[in-house]
Amino acid sequence: MTGRGAARRVTLLALLAVLAAWPWLAPYFAIFLMTEILILGLFAASFNLLFGYTGLLSFGHAAYFGTGAYVAALLLRDMAPPFLAVLAAAAVGAAVVALVIGWFSVRLTEVYFAMLTLAFGMMVYALVHQWRGLTGGSDGVAGFPLTAPLPGVAVNIADPVNYYYLTLILVAVSAYVLHRITVSPFGLILRSLRENSERASFAGVPVRRYRLAAFVVSGLFSGLAGALFAPFNRIAVPEMAHWTQSAEPVLMTILGGSQYFFGPFLGAGVFLLLRQWITSYTQEWMFFLGVILAFLVVFLPRGLLGLFDRWLGGRS
């Protein structure tokens, strides 16, 4: 127990050290790659609070990611407040959207829940795509400035290294908060819902209320990820709210292992590295991704971390 815990802590510290030194260790393009891994890792980890911990598979998480992206881009374009205020507003905006969609969705479970979240996700995409006056339609929102993080903190986050560090700090803090949630009493209730929501309700748990709470928290951090993603790309486009964007956290989480807190982060890393590598040879990267995923689901249902766990002689 303690041996495992200590090993985990050392691994985590080593990982943080590598991430902190990344701009010195890695070639220039890899700074962009790692920024993207961190952002999409946070997106996948937020998704997994709902999937791996609460037992609800959402196919519509791009709705919150996209909301975060657009709120951030529009605020920067029209008002240019301090960047951290932009992120906070975008996360809250996404949480509000999640509250509305979740309020309907948590009435259902399993495939019906998944279908409903997919349907709502499509509606949000359609809205973003069609509301040209606000969102610029398929052109998206671009040409916004990147403001200082806080008033008086004159850091130029348009510099990729600075943006990387800002992302690293925010993702690390968010991951820490998410992790605390999973091991809290609230998190225990969420895990009980994943295991057996009927038994939970007969233990006194108001099931829907907790599902909705998980949904909103998940939407909040997804929105934060989206709000980091749009400025990173210097544009918010409807694709960020598209259902193919919803598929990414699902795939990343399954790749890394949904039963592990860091599974989604690892999955995001492997996913983006594979994409980088395969697209340098062929345009048909989706085909190879499909092959890899099919292989994983059949042979490694617990994801890559499940495989490591088995190598280390962990649980069966």
Partner 1 sequence: MRPPPLLDVRDLRRNFGSFAAVDGVTLSVQPGEVTALIGANGAGKTTFYNLISGRLRPTGGSIFYRGRDITGTPPHSITRMGIARSFQITNIFDQLRVIENVQVALVIRQGKGTRWWRRAARDEDLRLQAGELLERLGLSGLAMARAGTLSHGDKRLVELAIVLATDPQLVLLDEPTAGMTPEETHAVVDLIARLAETGPQTFFLTEHDMDVVFGLARRVFVMHRGRLLAEGSPDEIRANPEVRNAYLGEEVY
200 binds partner 1 (CB under 8 A): yes
CA 173/CA 112 separation, integer angstroms: 33
Q: Token pair for residue 232? A: 């990173």
Q: Token pair for residue 95? A: 């949480």
92 binds partner 1 (CB under 8 A): no
Which has the closest alpha carbon to 90: 70, 106, 107?
70
279 binds partner 1 (CB under 8 A): no
Query: Is residue 142 helix, strand or coil?
Result: strand
Q: How far is the CB of 129 from partner 1 (least distance, A)?
A: 35
Which has the closest alpha carbon to 82: 72, 92, 96?
72
User: How many residues touch partner 1 (CB under 8 A)?
Assistant: 25
49 binds partner 1 (CB under 8 A): no
Contact 222, 90 (CB under 8 A): no
Query: Is residue 43 helix, strand or coil?
Result: helix
The residue within the footprint of partner 1, chosen from 11, 130, 196, 279 (CB under 8 A), is 196
215 binds partner 1 (CB under 8 A): no
Q: Strands, E, within 55-161: which ranges?
A: 141-142
The residue within the footprint of partner 1, chosen from 110, 139, 159, 195 (CB under 8 A), is 195
Contact stretch for partner 1 (CB under 8 A) within 78-86, 203-211, 246-254, 302-310: 203-211
191 binds partner 1 (CB under 8 A): yes
The residue within the footprint of partner 1, chosen from 199, 291, 294, 312 (CB under 8 A), is 199
In the complex, which residues of this chain contact partner 1 (CB under 8 A)? Answer: 180-181, 183-189, 191-192, 194-196, 198-207, 210
